[in-house]
Amino acid sequence: MFKHINIQQLCELRAEKNVNIADTRDKQSFDAGHISEAVHLDNASLHQFISDTAVDDALVVCCYHGNSSQGAADYLSEQGFSEVYSLDGGFELWKVSQPDDIAQG
C-alpha cells in the first residue's frame, strides 16, 4: 500500500536516505522539466524500471497534480516495493515551491 507525501516531507526524506523518484507524466513534459534525479516512467519503461530499481529504497511517484500517480504508486507497491509514496500536488506544485530543484532533458 502506498502513502501520500507532501513537498516538505519529500525534501526531508531525500535528506535522510536514498529516494527513487518516478515521473509518470508524458515524455515531452518530463523533458521540459522534472524533479532532479527523477526518471521518466511509462508503459514502455515500466518492466525495466521494476527490474533495475531496489525494492527496499523509498520510491516516490509523481505526475502533474498528484492524482494519476496514486494508481501507479499502488501498482508499484503491489510489485514488491516496500516504501512507496504518491507526491501530493505533483510536479506542478513542486516547480513553484522548489524551483531550484528542476532538471531538464
Q: Of 10, 21, 63, 72, which residue is the catalytic one?
A: 63
Helix, strand or coil for residue 84?
A: strand
Match 507532501 to its residue by C-alpha cell: 6
If 0-12 CB within 10 Å is exposed, 13-18 middle and 19+ buried, where does residue 81 land?
Answer: buried
Please, what is the Cα angle at 32 between 104 and 36, to 5 degrees? 35
Whether 62 sits among the annotated catalytic residues: the reply is no
* Active site amino acids: 63
